[in-house]
Structure 1
Amino acid sequence: MWAAVSGSLALAAALLTPQAAQAAGSNPPTKDATLVRTDAGWLRGESTAEGRQFLGIPYARRPVGALRWKEPRPVKPWHGVRGASSFGNRCVQSASWDPGYENPSHTEDCLDLNVYAPDGDPARQRPVMVWLHGGGLTAGAGEDIVPDAFARRTGTVVVTVNYRLGAMGFLATEGLDGEAADRVSGNYGMLDQQAALRWVRANIGSFGGDRHRVTIAGESAGGRSVCTQLASPTADGLYRAGIVESGAYGDCAARERQQATTQGAEFARKAGCPDAATALACLRKKPAAEILAAQAGFDWGPVAGGDFLPVQPEKAYEDGSASRVPVLNGANSDEGRLFAYGQFDGQGKPLTEEQYPGALTRMYGAELGAKVLKRYPVSGHASPTHAYAAAQGDMMFACTALRMDRALAGRGPVYAYEFADRTSPPFASIREAGKTFDFGATHVNEVQYLFKHFGLPTPLDAEQRDLARQMVQYWGSFIHGGAPRAEGQPTAPDQRTRPGTVLSLRTASAGGNALSTTLGDDHRCDLWDSAPADAG
Structure 2
Amino acid sequence: MKAMLIAMALASAAPVSAADPAPVVTAPAGTVRGTAEGDLRIFKGIPYATPPVGNLRWRAPMPMPHWRGERPATSFGAACVQPQVPNASIYSGAPMPVSEDCLTLNVWAPANAKNAPVMVWIHGGALVTGSSREPMYDGRKLAERGIVVVSINYRLGVLGWLAHSWLSRESDRHVSGNYGLLDQIAALTWVRDNIKAFGGSPRNVTIAGESAGGLSTLYLMTSPAARGLFSKTIAESAYMISMPELRKAAFGMPSGEGGGQMLTGALQLPDLQSLRGMDAQALTDTAAKLGFAPFGVVDGSVLPQQMVDAFDQGKQAPVPVLAGFNQGEIRSLRMLAPKPPADAAAYERTIRDRYADLADPFLRLYPAADYKESILAATRDALYGWTAERLVRKQAALGKPAYLYMFDHGYPAMDQADLHAFHASELPFVFGTLDGTPPRWPKVPGTAGERALSDAMTDYWASFVRDGTPVAKNAAPWPAYDGQRGYMRFGAMPEARRDLLPGMFALNESVMCRRRATGSIGWNWNVGLAAPKLPPKVAGCE
Query: If the length of structure 2 is used for normalisation, what is the TM-score?
Result: 0.81
Unaligned runs of 5+ in 1: 1-26, 345-350, 426-430
Q: Any idea what the Cα deviations from partners look like across 1:219-263, whole Å, max 9, x if unmatched?
A: 01001100110111111111111111111x2x2443211210000
SS class of match (2:120): strand
8 Å Cα contact 2:411/2:444 also seen in 1: no
Which of 215, 218, 228 is equivalent to 1:227?
Answer: 218
Number of the residue aligned with 1:309 = 303
1:47 aligns with 2:39: no
Which of 260, 263, 270 is equivalent to 1:264?
Answer: 260
Q: Any idea what the Cα deviations from partners look like across 1:280-307, whole Å, max 9, x if unmatched?
A: 2111000012211232212211111332
Give 1:170 deviation, angstroms: 0.5
Which of 64, 69, 73 is equivalent to 1:80?
Answer: 69
> Could you say which structure has the greater relative contact order, defined with CA pairs below 8 angstroms and 6 or more residues apart?
2
| Aligned amino acid, residue 218 of structure 1 | G
**1:479-498 counterparts in 2 under 5 A?**
479-495=465-481, 497-498=482-483
8 Å Cα contact 1:414/1:494 also seen in 2: yes
**1:3-18 counterparts in 2 under 5 A?**
none
Q: Any idea what the Cα deviations from partners look like across 1:73-113, whole Å, max 9, x if unmatched?
A: 01133332211111111101123535664658652110010
| Aligned amino acid, residue 513 of structure 1 | E
**1:253-292 counterparts in 2 under 5 A?**
253-258=242-247, 259-273=255-269, 275=270, 278=271, 280-292=272-284
Number of equivalenced pairs: 479
Number of the residue aligned with 2:355 = 368
| Aligned amino acid, residue 484 of structure 1 | P
8 Å Cα contact 2:13/2:25 also seen in 1: no
Which of 66, 76, 79 is equivalent to 1:90?
Answer: 79
Tell me: CA distance 1:302–1:484, structure 2 relative to 1, closer, same or farther (3 Å).
same
Number of the residue aligned with 1:115 = 107
Tell me, in whole angstroms, the C-alpha distance in 2 between the residues paired with 1:454 and 1:265: 44
Number of the residue aligned with 2:198 = 207
Tell me, in whole angstroms, the C-alpha distance in 1 between the residues paired with 2:63 and 2:477: 41
8 Å Cα contact 1:227/1:252 also seen in 2: no
Tell me, in whole angstroms, the C-alpha distance in 1 between the residues paired with 2:456 and 2:14: 40
Tell me, in whole angstroms, the C-alpha distance in 1 between the residues paired with 2:217 and 2:318: 13
| Aligned amino acid, residue 381 of structure 2 | D
Unaligned runs of 5+ in 2: 1-11, 248-254, 438-442, 516-521, 528-542
Number of the residue aligned with 2:342 = 354
Moved more, 153-162 or 48-57: 48-57
**1:347-496 counterparts in 2 under 5 A?**
354=342, 366-368=353-355, 375-377=365-367, 379-380=369-370, 384=372, 386-424=373-411, 434=414, 436-451=416-431, 452=433, 455-456=436-437, 458-495=444-481
| Aligned amino acid, residue 295 of structure 2 | G
Which of 112, 117, 125 is equivalent to 2:115?
Answer: 125
Number of the residue aligned with 1:502 = 487
Q: Any idea what the Cα deviations from partners look like across 1:321-362, whole Å, max 9, x if unmatched?
A: 211111111111222222128879xxxxxx777267778999
| Aligned amino acid, residue 517 of structure 1 | D
**1:146-295 counterparts in 2 under 5 A?**
146-247=137-238, 249=239, 251-258=240-247, 259-273=255-269, 275=270, 278=271, 280-295=272-287
Tell me, in whole angstroms, the C-alpha distance in 1 between the residues paired with 2:173 and 2:311: 22
Give 1:28 deviation, angstroms: 12
- Identical amino acids, percent of aligned pairs: 35
Give 1:416 deviation, angstroms: 2.7
| Aligned amino acid, residue 80 of structure 2 | C
SS class of match (1:196): helix
Give 1:469 deviation, angstroms: 1.4
Give 1:488 deviation, angstroms: 4.4
SS class of match (2:117): strand
| Aligned amino acid, residue 80 of structure 1 | G
